[in-house]
Structure 1
Amino acid sequence: MTGQRGDKPDELDVLVLREQLVAPNGPYAALDVVASTGSTNADLVATAGRGGADRSVLIAQTQTAGRGRRDRRWVSPAGTGIYLSVLLRPSAVPPERLGTLGLVAGLALMHVAAEAGVTASLKWPNDLMIGGAKCAGVLAESVPDGAAQAAVVGIGLNVGPLPGDVPAGPGGLAATSLAAHGARTTDRDVLAAWWLRAFVELESAWRLAEGDVERSGVLTGYREACGSIGQRVRAELPDGSARTGVAVDLDSRGQLLIKADDGSVAAISAGDVVHLRNADQD
């Protein structure tokens, strides 16, 4: 099911987006907009199994089961955000590097914020932060597809004013939106196109470098944008353990380096990172 802008100004215009971004005029193979779905990531994971094309885009006006990392719910109210996913088939990229697509997507979000005139930073590994609150998140997933390698990258970007019932994230992280910080535009067609153009430019360099974030230049850009570096943090790891210390850098694979109070340094490849305040140091 595809949609196009009708009488409602808050609907995305699929025809305009396709004209700008889909071959032969643009770099994407396909772009669809649906009124509602459970999760754009889940839909494209299923599409990958049916032979979906490299660089296919799915955008939803709203999601009923939007999700972030570790299967957390992502609130996706209609008309206020951008909820989109991209299916990729980077055949030359080693499977162990597919997870770094989250860094690529985060850098593209920084481009959107800059174009909108909003000062932002990235909280490792997947959050766009504005004014100490979360404005967007990224979910990158590898897709087992027999001999054919695939990945799906999704973003949720809060654009318009948020309803009052949006829950806080890990560590009590509040949600915010571009509108709340005076963005020069909240036109979702424009913002979606900005992200898709920035993403494909960065992803092309990443793909050419076989997913090497250092060689592609992605690591340099992410380091510059990463607000976690220099912060005292607690990394909540997938196995239930935690690591507390100062985030000192990213390594060549994009892992966060955390220096503990005893001077030891650990490389964190996955987990939730909480920026600690003075009253929350343990």
Structure 2
Amino acid sequence: MTENKLDVLALREQLVAPNGPYLALDVVETTGSTNADLLGAAAEGAADRTVLIAEQQTAGRGRRSRTWASPAGSGVYLSVLVRPTTVPPGRLGTLSMVAGLALIHAARETAGVDAVLKWPNDLLVGTDRAKAAGILSEVGPGQATVVGVGLNVTALPPGAEPGPGGLPVGSFTDAGATVTDRNEIAASFLRAFAEMEAAWRLSDGDIVRSGVITGYREACGTIGQRVRAELPDGTALTGVAVDVDADGQLLIKLDDGTPKAVSAGDVVHLKAD
């Protein structure tokens, strides 16, 4: 089995009960969106901790209906369905932070890549802090939540669309990864996500009690940066990102000194004046 092909039997052996934390794991050659597929499966009663991985996505998507390039054999495109029924609905969005920490684990510990998180849902790698991964968390029926990850392992073809603010597109390979086997990277992410999600769930989604906020602050490259926050209503705020609070909001000290908590939007890291 080459590193350019996902091995569903090996992944199941490592990750699916009784040997692992998941109840089901499938790999498909191609699909529109693993998130869309699992949301549909959730409505039909799919089990808690179900994983779907695609070799290729034809309609991969990110936040705010953006597309996510998912060429065959070059990345890890997966979604996890969880049913955290004891977690208050208002805390479900912090699952993206859990996924972010699992990505940091896969990047740093498995692939040997210098990586940080950009609030709210991007993984930046290498000295140029290029975007190598994104996270999309969506809530379905009965609090079923699907957390999707698109991760570039090998370099994307020329012409890949940059992120907000012209954020360059990158990959683990571009950042000098010591491991580029997609099976290893997918398994590393999924193991870390399962462990962290279990602690998060046991703490009723409280990112302070679960320890998620501590890890996130350490990994967040946005804290301390001068930023522009582009809000969903079309307005923008400029200032210095000073922290992430107990609800997962980004705290910004605006240029006029006013503190502001941002719960949603695109954040652009600005170069120093």
CA apart distance, 1:241: 1.3
TM-score normalized by the length of structure 2: 0.97
- Residue 125 of structure 1 corresponds to 120
User: What runs of 5+ residues in structure 1 fail to find an aligned partner?
Assistant: none
- Residue 258 of structure 2 corresponds to 264
CA apart distance, 1:81: 0.3
- Residue 136 of structure 2 corresponds to 139
Among 173, 194, 197, the residue aligned to 1:200: 194
> C-alpha distance in 2, partners of 1:242/1:49?
37
TM-score normalized by the length of structure 1: 0.94
How many percent identity over aligned positions?
67
- Residue 17 of structure 1 corresponds to 11
Matched AA of 2:92: L
1:11-43: CA deviations, max 9, x gaps?
A: 200000001000111110100000000000011
- Residue 189 of structure 1 corresponds to 183
Helix, strand or coil: the match of 1:54? coil
Aligned residues: 270
> C-alpha distance in 2, partners of 1:191/1:278?
34
Cα RMSD, aligned residues only: 1.1
> C-alpha distance in 2, partners of 1:218/1:120?
17
CA apart distance, 1:278: 4.2
Question: How do 1:1-282 residues align onto structure 2 when only pairs under 5 Å count?
Answer: 10-115=4-109, 116-130=111-125, 131=127, 132-143=129-140, 145=141, 148-278=142-272
CA apart distance, 1:206: 0.4
CA apart distance, 1:161: 2.0
CA apart distance, 1:56: 0.2
Moved over 4 A (4+): none
Matched AA of 2:78: L
Matched AA of 1:233: V
CA apart distance, 1:242: 1.2
User: What runs of 5+ residues in structure 2 fail to find an aligned partner?
Assistant: none
1:188-242: CA deviations, max 9, x gaps?
A: 0000000000001110010000001111000000000100001110111111111
Higher relative contact order (CA 8 A, sep 6+): 2
Helix, strand or coil: the match of 2:195? helix
> C-alpha distance in 2, partners of 1:149/1:24?
26
Helix, strand or coil: the match of 2:123? strand
CA apart distance, 1:9: 5.2
